[in-house]
Chain A
Amino acid sequence: MLGLNSKDQKLFLVVIVVTLLAPFILNPFPENSELAQFNAGYPDLMQRFAIFGIFAIGFNILFGLTGYLSFGHAAFLGVGSYAGVWMLKLLSMNVVPAIIMSVIFAGLFSLLVGFVSLRRSGIYFSILTLAFAQMSFALAYSVLTPITNGETGLQLALDDPRILGVSQIDGSIPPTNFFGLEMRDGFELALGPWVFTLNFGYYLCAVFVLGAFYLSMRIFNSPFGMMLRAIKTNQTRLPYTGMNPKPYTLAAFVISGMYAGLAGGLMVAMDPLAGAERMQWTASGEVVLMTILGGAGTLLGPLLGAGVIKYFENIFSKINDTILYEWFSFMPDGLQDVFVFLIHPFIGKGWHLTLGIMFMLVVIFLPGGVVEGGQRFMRLFKRGDKGSKSSGDAARSASPAE
């Protein structure tokens, strides 16, 4: 069904269920409990999970399949964002044209960058893409200020034309919508002590992330995907067999650029602002981290990696000392101080440190990322009945990036 084999079908079904039920799964702790701190089921973060999931899935098509490590993918996300905001400013607050234009502009820009950068491979390719991304960042930050509004970021204003919509409603900028369905709107379900927020914006993102995931599965299984894997395995051999790898790598590059553009478009659809920092090298590095952390070259990996990183960024960075003291309030004073002192460097502004340590551990002990961790875990249980078969399976599908 859907052109997928039964294993992928199952995987896709699981992803569909998890995505649709995310508001429930991510809010496991009752609203007023101490642990509510760790709930991630609020609209903004769920949208981010989905958006960066798309970004990482797209990046994985390039990096996971062809092995080309692009260090400039954030530029496409940024270009997509700017295109999206301009559509919201000029055309209407409907997100559809914004998202379409984001994908188109990011695609065109990635064609240009890819055409130049793909003349080289390996580290030279990485440096070229990095250079392009930094150039775009610098341009957006200062030179192109009339288009990008520089450091402040491009945002909507009350006097924007919005030809097909309205400039303002009662002195407010109208909210972004999908044919009238407001992105920030939604409804809350209170079940006992739990409160679940079902947000329209998130569900729009969810539809796109499912589409993106499906497309990437099809690409992975297609002859085209096979070609890309061949490029990764041995680039020099291919021309000898009469194949020209160039068009394939360029196609993969543009596809992943368009995925990034889609992510950028969704970002502004959820929160209509495009800042230049979105294109900075740290943002490009982040998507590399996401993919590797989750498991490069696997289907599910990038999605998981994006989730882990965004969770850390948004949840751990908000834990402060006061909260720690509350947690350890059962301890005697001296001991409490010791524990807070020990944990302090890893929370709040120290979330980078926690993430860094985790990243190191994953890369050292689980080169295949979180996905490999999951597979090893599953194998522990399966070893009894059909050990050899499943481990062979896992090894095949986990095959990490070199």
Chain B
Amino acid sequence: MSEIGKAASRRSVLKGSLAAGAAIAMPTIFTSQAKAAFLNDPGAASTVTLGFNVPQSGPYADEGADELRAYLLAVEHLNGEGDGGMMNTFSSKALKGNGILGKKVEYVTGDTQTKSDAARASAKSMIEKDGAIMITGGSSSGVAVAVQALCQEAGVIFMAGLTHSNDTTGKDKKANGFRHFFNSYMSGAALAPVLKNAYGTDRKAYHLTADYNWGYTTEEAVRTSTESMGWETVEAVKTPLAQTDFSSYITPVLQSDADVLVLNHYGGNMVNSLTNAVQFGLRDRVANGKNFEIIVPLYSRLMAKGAGANVKGIFGSTNWHWSLQDEASKAFVQSFGTKYGFPPSQAAHTCYVQALLYADAVERGGSFNPCSVVEALEGFEFDGMGNGPTLYRAEDHQCFKDVLVVKGKENPSSEFDLLEIVEVTPVAQVTYAPDHPQFAGGQLGTCNPGA
């Protein structure tokens, strides 16, 4: 340490700079990443690690728990245990039940806490510490977008879980990210015709919108599609995400001349706002000579459960429902129910499908390299996953499939039987151009293999 006190002599400066030069040159010798063609290459190992990054605490913990159940089921099926679930109905037969490319599937789990920062930290530790080759999960668009960007930067594949905002495959789309779930635009497009049949073309709508990204895109989507069939939007009010009592937002609805209330809320928000709206007697109200109606664009069984009897007769849309009668859905419900004793939610379904789709893409591409996976998934058409014929569009990595319009059941037979399917909107009706204004602005970029 005595060196520091002395004035630097020419000799010590030379010595120092030599050492510094050597230190900078070192990394190029030792960089181990250079030998692999892509990040976290399992190489000759007998196992491969997937990262399941789901909310285990916070407002979407219920969805997260169900997602994790679905992932564990998917891992079982991939490794050839259990009854195989949707692997038997899946149109691609690349998966053989011997893991992925013969490697046994292992997994690590993490808690996103429904916070972008925590989700990224958890995903990063999976990538850096556990060597995860793919990250999947999440129950919020903010988290999905944040983790998707991280995976793009790091060079692993991201298979989004439940994320409904247009932006995930719109302005924030990434080459390494894929979404099976439907989006706000599709909800709007699927709901509009059903609403037209049920409530007519001359309606005045009042929107209550959760004040964050997903709320905005959902409001925009529903507004655009209802306005194009002749509805008028009276007012759109943003409500804070942390709001638990919506009475102060419902009172102005009573004073307006609206005859439809659209609740662009999700999770606990929707449970509370809908309950408030029903308590204020909106459902018994008659406005402009018509019955007052309430609409919830994005429905989930877990939400319906929270809102109880209030959901009866209320329209909404959903990605999948366990009461679907196709072979694939039946097989999935069967194997999920056998393992856990109750039917899966739509979050569980999309996560299970995403895990299988990833494994299948690796098998078909013959490599874990993210670029090979991207190539295998882009433009991939498949069937037998519970949503009918589905396309993974190459332009934005969004799945295009039928969308379900559902209604709260009048006489539920069990605590899981809360929604009934009103209509299966065909895929053609919810398809949009990749440069649609609601999705414009982003670029996919190119796939990043990490190394």
Binding site for B on A (CB under 8 A): 1-2, 13, 39, 42-45, 48, 138, 141-142, 145, 149-153, 155-159, 168, 170-173, 175, 184-190, 197, 200, 271-273, 275, 277-278, 313-314, 317-318, 320, 348-349, 352
Contacts and interface: CB of A to CB of B under 8 A. Distances in A.
9 contacts: A1-B4, A44-B124, A138-B240, A151-B142, A151-B214, A153-B145, A171-B446, A189-B30, A273-B150
| Best-surrounded residue of A44, A156, A173, A314 (most CB of chain B within 10 A) | A44
B116 interface: yes
Contacts of B422: none
A187 B124 contact: no
Contacts of B433: none
B149 A348 contact: no
Nearest to B52: A320
| Best-surrounded residue of B56, B125, B172, B442 (most CB of chain A within 10 A) | B125
Contacts of B109: 318, 320, 348
What are the 9 closest A-B residue pairs judged by CB atoms, nearest first? A171-B446, A275-B116, A151-B212, A349-B56, A187-B30, A44-B124, A171-B445, A42-B129, A151-B142
Contact of B30 (A142, A159, A188): A188
Given A1-B5, A273-B117, 9 more contacts: A149-B213, A158-B442, A159-B443, A175-B153, A187-B26, A187-B27, A275-B115, A277-B115, A277-B117
Interface residues of chain A: helix, strand, loop or mixed (majority): mixed
Interface of B: 1, 4-5, 26-27, 30-33, 56-57, 61, 108-111, 115-118, 120-122, 124-125, 128-129, 141-142, 145-146, 149-150, 152-154, 167, 172, 175, 211-214, 238, 240-241, 442-446, 448
A42 B26 contact: no
B7 to A, nearest CB: 15
B354 to A, nearest CB: 20
Contacts of B448: 172
A20 B420 CA distance: 61
Nearest to A314: B125
Nearest to A282: B115
Contacts of B26: 187
Nearest to A283: B117
Nearest to B56: A349
Given A172-B445, A187-B32, A273-B149, A44 B125 contact: yes
B30 A153 contact: no
B220 to A, nearest CB: 13
Nearest to A173: B153
Contacts of A172: 152, 445-446, 448
Contact of A352 (B5, B57, B443, B445): B57
Contacts of B150: 271, 273
Contacts of B154: 184
Contacts of B115: 275, 277
A157 B128 contact: no
A152 B145 contact: yes
Given A44-B121, A318-B108, A318-B125, A349 B57 contact: yes
A152 B141 contact: yes
Contacts of B122: 314, 317-318
Contacts of B116: 151-153, 273, 275, 277
Contacts of A44: 121, 124-125, 128-129
A200 to B, nearest CB: 8
A157 B175 CA distance: 13
Given A318-B108, A318-B110, A155 B128 contact: no
Given A189-B30, A318-B109, A1 B1 contact: yes
Contacts of B30: 187-189
Contact of A188 (B33, B167, B211): B33
A175 to B, nearest CB: 7
A349 B153 CA distance: 27
A173 B448 CA distance: 10
Nearest to A272: B153
B211 A271 contact: no
A275 B57 contact: no
Nearest to B238: A142
